[in-house]
Structure 1
Amino acid sequence: MFKRILSYAGVGGIALALMSGAMAATKIKLGYSASTAFANAYVAADQGLFAKHGLDVEMILVPNSSTTPAALIADSLQIGPPTAPVTLQAMENGLDLVILGGGGITDRNASEVGVLAREGSGIKTAKDFEGKKVGTPGLNAFLHVMFREWMTRNGADWKKTTFVESPFAQLGDVMKAGQVDAVVTGDPFKTRALEAKQGYLVANYVSDMGDGIATGWFVASRKWATQNKEAAKAFQTALNEATALAKKDPAVLRKAIGAYIKLPEGVLAQVQLPALQPDVTPEQINDWSKICVSQGLTKKPTDPARVLWK
């Protein structure tokens, strides 16, 4: 009888262990850039929405999004924030990536992204950037590519401008020191630079491009998404819920931004909250594909049906 009880106990222990393993949260290393374009992920992490859907998410700051595609393929990140140009270039070069969901989108009334110039530079219009040196947080990344598109649409030749890469947090200091004539930047660093009088605003050039262009999205390797379909779906669900919560309660959104982009309270209070859209559309892929082809970053159009994960 005693042996039978032990046997039952052993079976019960094994069953509990199996149940525990089945219920264990899927671990995800989620890379993010220090930008409000990824703020719905901040909300999902800060408000426990990832955990609610069975995900154990570790948020990892990525200083340069151009390194993200390789990190996704190597599985050192499971989900990451490569900018649209970086993503489409990586895909064309053979990296099998998929877009799981979206973050920020452009809003013609927004002011969180802009180009700042140093005092004495004489820069007032798009044409004035010709012959000048402009700092950007990433060559051929979102801010850089969109600025070149803005110059083109405003009758300027971006090929006559020299672009220099520098980390987000250092752009204002680099400009104030006279190493560049202007910088393209986004909040919270744009607000911080203006507060510190490191330069003046020339244009909120991204909002000038119109509404609805994807400013941030979340990417995974196709291999990971295929092998972790439930986790990929859970991520999308959490992102949808976080976006809805952010729209409903701006205080929650601002708090989450402060949690993942370390800012003084005074600066955080003035940061413009982003427009967010958790679903990336075929039209948004097509918009970016046209821009990348026109600038010679990619050679052929990207097929939305292939790159959007459903």
Structure 2
Amino acid sequence: MSMRWILGAASAVTLLAAGSAAAQDKIVLGMSGWTGFAPLSLAAEAGLFKKHGVDVEIKFIPQKERHLTVAAGATQAVATTVDTFISYSAAGIPLTQVLLLDKSNGGDGLAVRSSINSVKELKGKTIAVDGAGTTPYFTLMAMLKRNGMGPKDVQFATLAPNPAAQAFVAGQFDAAVTYEPYLSSIRNAPNAGKILLTTLDVPVVVDMVAFQPDFIKKNPKIVQGVVNGFFDALEMIKKEPEKSYEIMGSKVKQTGEQFAGSAKFIAWQDKAANQAYFKGDLQKFMKEAAEIQLEAGVIKSVPNLDAMVDASFVK
């Protein structure tokens, strides 16, 4: 038996293995450690996506870079907020939202020093917040706008959500904007300050999953599998809460009990909630979010909002 034959056979086996892997419809989904996204991690870890024929690999990717990974082909799906998808599309990388994940129910907030009692008192002060185009920045812009202020009225220390919370707890800066599970580190820190506003006061954080339009056309079964896997994860949380919280918490270095605490500030959205939201509320909020971003200079023009929505996978 010649060495050439052996090498040729080995190559054939490698090709067959690659083809088999491709047949499993593997995709990569980019997101963060935000508590609202956690059912996606649960679906991946518990085999719920695979039950629907999709092997989903979850990767934590900074919010400002997720759309770039899609454009480069490194990821096929992205989880982030409605406002962020608008900024992605305005930047020339269109993504179509197919699934409503959650609404922040106090899970995003503005923390301030104890001596500060209103948003207007932040004028001229320094706020630790992630960069323009991210959810914390958008949340801050919405809070400022509702109090007759804008980005020119405050100073910025650009920090990602976790470092922003850590810096604030350590006594740095006048205020910070972050989200769960990091917001709870401020809630639970003695003498760090106080939470002035959350998304209970300013409900502007809504999370979705999106794919590029062309990917949706070519791979509707994959998209449907991701949507169905998420809904299965919500059912698992209802039936096996302790096990589910342990799995989800482990991905963000929390115990199940700690994760359950963070989850109190999140409202995950089931199929019925998805169907209702896609009927008009999503479109209405997108218009409001685009106006806030336009005024804040985050986007230069409003993209085609209608092209950013596909409700067919939640019917």
TM-score by length of 2: 0.79
1:31-46 mapped onto 2 (5 Å cutoff): 31-46=30-45
Q: Which runs of at least 4 in structure 1 moved beyond 6 Å after TM superposition?
A: none
* 1: CA distance, partners of 2:108 / 2:192: 14
* 1: CA distance, partners of 2:215 / 2:26: 12
* 1: CA distance, partners of 2:58 / 2:146: 37
* 1:142 pairs with 2:142: no
* 1:115 pairs with 2:85: no
Q: Secondary structure at the match of 1:292?
A: helix
Q: Could you tell me how far 1:248 is from its partner in structure 2?
A: 6.0
Q: Secondary structure at the match of 2:78?
A: coil
Q: Among 68, 87, 93, which residue is 2:91 paired with?
A: 93
User: Cα RMSD (Å) of the superposition?
Assistant: 2.8
Aligned residues: 286
| Letter matched to residue 276 of structure 1 | W
Q: Could you tell me how far 1:301 is from its partner in structure 2?
A: 4.1
Q: Could you tell me how far 1:200 is from its partner in structure 2?
A: 2.2
Q: Could you tell me how far 1:29 is from its partner in structure 2?
A: 1.0
Q: Could you tell me how far 1:176 is from its partner in structure 2?
A: 3.9
Q: Could you tell me how far 1:308 is from its partner in structure 2?
A: 1.4
Q: Name stretches of at least 5 consecutive residues in structure 1 with no aligned partner.
A: 1-16
* Residue matched to 1:231: 222
Identity %: 21
Q: Could you tell me how far 1:165 is from its partner in structure 2?
A: 1.8
* 2: CA distance, partners of 1:301 / 1:156: 22
Q: Among 194, 199, 202, which residue is 1:201 paired with?
A: 194
* 2: CA distance, partners of 1:304 / 1:127: 32
Alpha-carbon spacing, 1:304–1:250, altered in 2? closer, same or farther (3 Å): farther
* Residue matched to 1:47: 46
Q: Could you tell me how far 1:260 is from its partner in structure 2?
A: 1.9
| Bigger Cα displacement from structure 2, 85-94 vs 28-37 | 85-94
Alpha-carbon spacing, 1:157–1:169, altered in 2? closer, same or farther (3 Å): closer
Alpha-carbon spacing, 1:266–1:198, altered in 2? closer, same or farther (3 Å): farther
Q: Could you tell me how far 1:52 is from its partner in structure 2?
A: 0.6
Q: Secondary structure at the match of 2:30?
A: strand
* 2: CA distance, partners of 1:297 / 1:183: 19
Are the aligned partners of 1:97 and 1:222 in contact in 2 as well (CA < 8 Å)?
yes
Alpha-carbon spacing, 1:247–1:151, altered in 2? closer, same or farther (3 Å): farther
* 1: CA distance, partners of 2:245 / 2:191: 24
* 1: CA distance, partners of 2:66 / 2:125: 30
Q: Among 254, 266, 271, which residue is 1:263 paired with?
A: 254
* 2: CA distance, partners of 1:152 / 1:248: 42
